[in-house]
Amino acid sequence: MKISKIMTSKVGTTSSSATVTSCAAKMRELNIGSLVVMNSGKVEGIVTTWDITSKCIAIAKDPHESPIFEIMTSPVHTADFDTDVIEAARVMADRKISRLPVLKESKLVGIVTFSDISRTLDQFTKNVLGSWKV
């Protein structure tokens, strides 16, 4: 199965010049845990609630004044629209990341999380095992 089948196509994005406070507010408004940082239509990085907590709040940076580029993760690992779910899971596990922006022809088209993959594999297992007759 391809990640294009399980990804979320509505991705929260921001610019690298946005403040930490504005990004946190956007994440809260959208009820999401990350924003993909874009620059001229290209993925530049990703910022998560963990980044905000550990790289800003925990070290007493002013979130109203700090631009997101100071705390975002960059470079960001991405996956192609046609990447297999198992391959995406391997990449995420190897790199210890829980979110993977999805690109199609170098354009951001979605995001897949480790939770998305876990749910998909769990459902696949239930479907396969549920069809076995003992």
Query: In DSSP terms, which residues pair with 2 in a beta bridge?
Result: 84
pLDDT in the model for residue 90: 94
The CATH homologous superfamily for domain 3-130 is CBS-domain (3.10.580.10)
pTM for the whole structure: 0.88
C-alpha distance from residue 71 to each of 18, 28, 31 (Å): 11, 18, 20
- Domain spans in the chain, listed from the N-terminal domain onward: 3-130
Whether residue 132 has pLDDT greater than 70: no
Average pLDDT rounded to a whole number, residues 69-90: 95
C-alpha distance from residue 7 to each of 58, 65, 102, 109 (Å): 31, 33, 8, 9
Helices (H), 12-113: 20-30, 49-55, 85-95
